[in-house]
Amino acid sequence: MVRTLERTPSLGDVLMQAVLEMVRSDGLRPGDRLPAIKTLAERFGVSVPTLREAMQRLANLGVVDIRHGSGMYLLQTRLPVITGHPDAAPRDERTLCDLLDARLAIEPLLARRAAQHITSDQAESLRTAIETAARALSAEGAPPQVSQSQANMNIHARIAEAAGNPILADTILSLIRVYGAEQKRLLAMQGAEARQHNHADHVALAEAILSRDPDRAEAAMRRHLERVLESLHRSLSPHKAR
């Protein structure tokens, strides 16, 4: 089954983000006691049960500690990245470089495994993803609301899912979801020629996987991500020189 990379935030997601923003704006640190459930519910304009559910989700993720009879205490100021929550990670240039470095460590292996294990249905999904990205690149005939960034990330998602290891696939999909805004930012930094090269990389990668050539698929993914990382370093160097 094809999984999408973008979703509409639920009220619980919005409340989790609101609590994290409150933590940052109020300067709270790990170990600090949070306001009471009722106080937070009034602050955010929601019911007590709704707020309690959001706080329980944060507790399950290790962000807060709910001590019955004592209160709620902050454990960390952000969500763990692996949750795949779009508000989990810090937004800075170093983190974007770290993201690509993490992907370089995992995605070449996923490409190799995809070439070995891809099914006929998954192969068709990968072909469709490539075609959608091509239409998004030309801005002609692209499905409504499918951006080039989303189309590109869908290619990587299809490859991850074809690799046959759901844990590795979920790890990469979580990183992609968390850093969706950064992926769009990176694409915006590239000129038209660079975006064409980026799509050509995806085509070569897909061809290697569909040809069931593990060595070529692994090399193609590594080369693609290394080029993206090099492009990022070039785009950031003028800012660092200021």
At residue 136, the pLDDT reads 85
The answer to whether residues 209 and 162 touch, using CB atoms and an 8 Å cutoff, is yes
- Indicate if 111 and 205 belong to the same structural domain: yes
Mean pLDDT (whole number) for 69-77: 88
pLDDT digits (tens, 9 = 90+) for 20-44: 999 989 999 888 999 999 999 999 9
- Indicate if 203 and 226 belong to the same structural domain: yes
Band (4; pLDDT cuts 50, 70, 90): very low
Greater confidence, 77 or 127?
127
pLDDT digits (tens, 9 = 90+) for 114-139: 999 999 999 999 999 999 999 888 86
Buried b (16+ CB within 10 A) or exposed e, 112-143: bbbbeebeeebbebbeebbebbbbbbeeeebe
Best mean pLDDT range from 83-87, 151-155, 234-238: 151-155
57 inside domain: yes
- Indicate if 171 and 225 belong to the same structural domain: yes
Report pTM.
0.65
pLDDT at 166 over 90: no
Largest CA distance in the chain: 61
169 inside domain: yes
Residue 165 domain boundaries: 85-240
